[in-house]
Structure 1
Amino acid sequence: MQTTPLNPEDPLELGDFELLGRIGHGGMGQVFLGESLGGEPAAVKVIKPSVVDSESRLRFAQEIEVLKTIWGPRIAAFLGADADAEQPWLATEYVDGPDLARHVKTHGPLPPVLTAALGAILAEALSAVHTQGLLHRDLKPANILLGPNGPKIIDFGLAAFTESSVSLTAPHQVVGTPICMAPEQAAGVKPLTAAVDVYALGALLLFAATGHYPHEAATPYMVFHLVTDPGTAPDLSGVPAELVPLLSGMLAHDAETRPSLTDVVQQCRSLIEAQGMKIAQARRRLTTHTADQRHGPTSAGAHSPTILWPAPANDPSATEIAPVDLDTPAPAPAEAPPSSPTTLVDPGPSAPETPVPGPPTQLDPPHGSRHERPASNRPPKDSRRPTAGAHTVRHSVQARRTAERLRSAYAAKAPF
């Protein structure tokens, strides 16, 4: 587990969750590693004070309602939230593993049979989400966590009820991540259908199998032009032959010609069985493969970091673009810089926290110690929220180890 210490201005608690460290941050907020009263680890997402307004609260409240509505073994579980708090927060299940984007960029593409296993797992999970009347609308590698029990889907911040007449975006705005966005979504077509998640899943699987996306360019505007142009086919270079029919169908420009999620599951299953393997075996092999690489050394000799949310530094964040912007002529291909997944979009504030170097210590602090910051780094007591009447701080093994590592990190940076 990789975290960074809390900043002096960070809260120590939100609701019934004690905050132990920082996991990552994005344009809208910060994500902390937290722990419930009963010792359950959680990812606690908080909106930045600078962006808290009526619209951001409304969007956050919708995300909370979505998470209350959906469930399933491949969905990070909802644990608690308060959209009306001074600092609106949302707690979900903590998945101890890297996201798919970071895994592929660190260890390389997945083998075809494991890509098919991932496709079957996620297609089945999305089918359950659709059955509950929802669309994800922002499926991408950064929103798939490779945990110890298999992949899980996170971040339903852009999810929408399929039959809802309420929209949280302006009439001429397009919201989402361009590199995984379906053409009709990029063009602002409404209402959207389940086919948008089929396309996004196809883009995700293409990245898992090759390390690149269907359309890549130097700016999100150029990507939008490529995605919405029916004459520009998705880039399937490097795709293993057995995956080409599946991915070409999922990435079809016309939504009506894409396969259903049930068809995707069946095609993935057929690919796995053609290799003489059962679907359950392929699923277990996928989990073992990602877990082994997560705990093993990387090519640089270091351990790959564990990031929960948001996207890694070179994974594009969600973008809001008005259709009028799409009319801006794109530069000629010869003038565009070489495309690569790392040069798509400047992510700005969506880069994750830099992990604290060194492995977690196994030493437990003396009995009765609290998860506190060193005195030199703590703000004056009168600048913090009063702690009188607060619940007793928990001391699970995980919490003690995390607190000890955070104290060690501060000590290493101290000038004395």
Structure 2
Amino acid sequence: MEPLRPEDPAGIGGYPLIARIGAGGMGQVYLGLTGAGRHIALKVIREDFDGPQALARFRREVATVERVRSRFAAAMVGAGLDAPPYWLATEYVPGPTLRQAVAEHGPLPPDTCLRLLAALAQGLLEIHGQGVQHRDLKPGNVILAPDGPRLIDFGIARGEGQTQITQTGAWNGTPGYVAPEVVREQEPVPASDVFSLAGTIAYAATGRPPFGGGRIEAIIHRTLDGEIDLDGVDARVAELVRLCAAKEPASRVRLERLIELAASPAGLAGDPAYLRVAGTPRPVPASVPDAVASGLVPAERTTASAPGGTGLRSRAAVIAAVAGVAAVVLGSAFVARSVLTGDDGGRGANTAQSGPAANGPAANGAG
């Protein structure tokens, strides 16, 4: 978590921002608050990153995240796609990424690797059952929450019926984790995620890239023709990783079978080694004044006088506005209260949550 910078907006889409929590090639990710005080992650596309292909990819990411319903994936809260800055809000998941945890604490114990393998396999099974392939599973896209892992960043994910965005001769994915058939420019299949799962668990068990380092060409060559790096890995873990890392998709273990093979009586929430690397979630400010007091939000910045949020208005915000009009027309506070009853931080049907309208200076982009 980092303090907001002078160029950062005070809010996006009606949600006040209280910190920076990540960045990437497409822009910036902020920590925001709903009107009910629920923490959310707001991914905002850079203003100079709005070409047709980039916007099409972001729209597809929003559509994909909206259709995913899994306890192993961060749930969608809302999105703004009408005009820049384009944004996507999901639930905030406290915890380090698998990459961060291994870099800080070293490789995970064998039993923890097996439990993590089973949990991620269950997550993939659930999203595949909803017609979605992740297509970029890697240690940096797995958050170790206290109650179990979450899959994040569906930026290149694709659901059934969604069209390919990359040009002919190009492929999406991360070298060392992307499946051989994707590198060969064949159509990704659900089993391609299983290959990426193999690399992710190999990294968790060794702390090393699954197909070594160096030039991308060398990594791709080893992915196509070499063996995944399992030197020193516990035999039980190594056997299951090899079943996932078969070069041909049809030869890879099915997720249902993998879950059976990796099953453990104890889940990750009761695994001391997992809880040690996941860590105790760092306290986050519960309000903008708290964020100001902690130095994350400049003291001179307030959201009360900021202009209205950008992007798509949430259904909750629209309902609130209609309720206010009804209250005036009918002269009854009961009408407004009945419409607004409940936690406006709830997702409902994956619609945006309401929050105080707050936009500051021009926004950065999303990571």
Q: From 205, 209, 212, give the equivalent of 2:208.
A: 212
Q: From 383, 387, 397, give the equivalent of 2:306.
A: 387
TM-score (norm 2): 0.77
Partner of 1:177: 174
Q: Note the alpha carbon deviations across 1:206-226, whole angstroms, 9 max, x for none.
A: 111111232113122221122
Amino acid at match of 1:186: V
Q: CA deviation at 1:171?
A: 1.3
Secondary structure of 1:49's counterpart equals: coil
Instruction: Please give the root-mean-square deviation of Cα atoms over the aligned residues, in Å.
Output: 3.0
Distance in 2 (CA, whole Å) between partners of 1:109 and 1:211 is 5
Q: CA deviation at 1:83?
A: 2.0
Partner of 2:247: 253
1:360/1:159 CA distance change after superposition, 3 Å: closer
Distance in 2 (CA, whole Å) between partners of 1:27 and 1:135 is 21
Q: From 48, 62, 67, give the equivalent of 2:46.
A: 48
Partner of 2:357: none
Partner of 2:344: none
Partner of 1:227: 223
Secondary structure of 2:166's counterpart equals: coil
Q: Mapping of 1:351-366 within 5 angstroms?
A: none
Q: Mapping of 1:13-162 within 5 angstroms?
A: 13-162=11-160
Amino acid at match of 1:387: A
Secondary structure of 2:124's counterpart equals: helix
Partner of 1:289: 273
Q: CA deviation at 1:11?
A: 0.9
Structure 2 contact 147–268 (Cα < 8 Å) conserved: no
Secondary structure of 1:145's counterpart equals: strand
Distance in 1 (CA, whole Å) between partners of 2:171 and 2:25 is 17
Unaligned stretches of 5+ in structure 2?
310-316, 318-367
TM-score (norm 1): 0.68
Amino acid at match of 2:142: I
1:360/1:65 CA distance change after superposition, 3 Å: closer
1:38/1:218 CA distance change after superposition, 3 Å: same
Q: Note the alpha carbon deviations across 1:124-180, whole angstroms, 9 max, x for none.
A: 11111111111100000111101122111111111012454x111001101110111
Secondary structure of 1:169's counterpart equals: coil
Secondary structure of 2:48's counterpart equals: helix
Q: From 261, 266, 283, give the equivalent of 2:260.
A: 266
Partner of 2:183: 186
Distance in 1 (CA, whole Å) between partners of 2:2 and 2:161 is 41
Structure 2 contact 15–34 (Cα < 8 Å) conserved: yes
1:10/1:236 CA distance change after superposition, 3 Å: same
Aligned residues: 309
Distance in 1 (CA, whole Å) between partners of 2:262 and 2:88 is 34
Structure with greater contact order relative to length (CA < 8 Å, sep ≥ 6): 2
Distance in 1 (CA, whole Å) between partners of 2:237 and 2:306 is 56
Distance in 1 (CA, whole Å) between partners of 2:121 and 2:293 is 46
Amino acid at match of 1:242: R
Identity of aligned residues (%): 35
Distance in 1 (CA, whole Å) between partners of 2:212 and 2:236 is 23
